[in-house]
């Protein structure tokens, strides 16, 4: 087991010598709720308004705000942030997929993960009036492309 040096100075990784390439990442989060809550969401009866569109905007803002949320992330000029929802009525869950694209020197995995997670948290916030037992799970990187580390697909 590798010994960790906790006295090592913190700092962002130096990416100045890296090449600018197109980098893409896709992440997901899942939120499970009661069937009754999902029916309210789909019917559009949440008191705070349109849940999924608000969650979409929140996810986009989270991707753009990642360097303010996670200390060592580089600020990036994102080219694309796309949030999709896969609603599974039978199991009363929503799978959120966030895709992030940049032409830059570092990857966008953290931006995609932040987007998916914050979208799920927004759904929770807007639906907690109906269901306080919702569960957010399976926040994970699904795929990434570009960069020295190569491509990854779960």
DSSP readout, 47-79? TTS-HHHHHHHHHHHHHHHHHHHSTTPPP---S
User: Any residues with CB less than 8 A from the CB of 25 and at least 6 apart, and which?
Assistant: 99, 100, 107, 108, 109, 111, 112, 113, 141, 143, 144, 145
Position 148 pLDDT exceeds 90: no
Give start and end residues of each alpha helix (H) in 7-136: 35-43, 51-69, 109-127
Residue 101 has a pLDDT of 98
The structural domains of the chain, ordered by start, are: 21-147 (3.30.70.640)
Q: 7: helix, coil or strand?
A: coil
pLDDT digits (tens, 9 = 90+) for 61-90: 999 999 999 999 999 999 999 999 999 999
pLDDT digits (tens, 9 = 90+) for 127-146: 999 999 999 999 999 999 99
Residues designated catalytic = 125
């Amino acid at each position: 087991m590798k010994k960790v040096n906790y006295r090592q100075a913190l700092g962002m990784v130096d990416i100045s010598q890296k090449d600018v390439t197109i980098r893409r990442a896709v992440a997901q989060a899942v939120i499970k709720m009661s069937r009754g809550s999902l029916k309210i969401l789909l019917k559009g009866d949440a008191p705070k308004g349109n849940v999924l569109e608000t969650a979409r905007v929140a996810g986009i803002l989270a991707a753009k705000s990642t360097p303010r949320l996670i200390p060592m992330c580089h600020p990036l000029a994102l080219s694309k942030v796309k949030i999709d929802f896969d609603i599974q009525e039978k199991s009363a869950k929503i799978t959120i997929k966030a895709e992030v694209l940049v032409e830059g020197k570092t990857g966008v995995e953290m931006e995609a993960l932040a987007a998916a997670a914050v979208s799920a948290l927004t759904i929770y916030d807007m639906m907690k009036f109906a269901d306080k037992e919702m569960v957010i799970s399976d926040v994970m990187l699904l795929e990434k492309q570009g960069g020295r580390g190569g491509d990854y697909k779960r």
